[in-house]
Amino acid sequence: MTPKLILASSSPFRRLLMHNAGLAFEAHAAHIDERALEEPLEREGATPDTVALVLAKAKAKEVSDRFPTRFVIGSDQTMSLGPQTFHKPKDMTDATKHLQVLSGKTHRLNSAIAIAYDGDIVWEHVSHAELTMRPLSADFIARHLNRVGERALSSVGAYQLEGEGLQLFSRIDGDYFTILGLPMLPLLEKLRELSAIDG
């Protein structure tokens, strides 16, 4: 039997969250140019929430156009410190700069999610988490990035909270699923409403 759900993502973490929740689904990456969508939004001064939502909806819609009779889940996450929006570090030098800027401060993760059906967005949502990074010395940042290596380049904050990145923090306000970029509780509630999963 073909699952009713498609996750429009190639993220192993998002796939694992869906799998662990007992959902039957397929995963298909969206064919969109994220930077091409982000750049005009940033020039116009769009909020981090708006950027994340636009990308989540674009992913869901692109995959839904290919699989119109299925519920397609798109998601995206931005990270903000005050008015500044962060992107994945380009290299280890960039990762070092990210951690230096975040050191001793509280930043926000903005996790957007959208569901598309038959090419139309039928639901959208944004959840937030606030993370306070403890003060980090330059030497510690260098040692930490040396240990985690290229994994630091796979997330906007240059850390993985599900791994050694946890050591960087003194306080976390927000749920684990939002931090990993797929707010599962509101998603599951909506999927039950849509009769897409057993309610």
Catalytic residues: 76
- Alpha-carbon distance of 18 to 83, in angstroms, equals 32
Strand-pair partners of 86: 79
- Token readout for 180 is 């990993």
Residue 130 exposure: Cα atoms within 13 Å on the Cβ side:
5
- Alpha-carbon distance of 155 to 102, in angstroms, equals 14
- Alpha-carbon distance of 36 to 97, in angstroms, equals 24
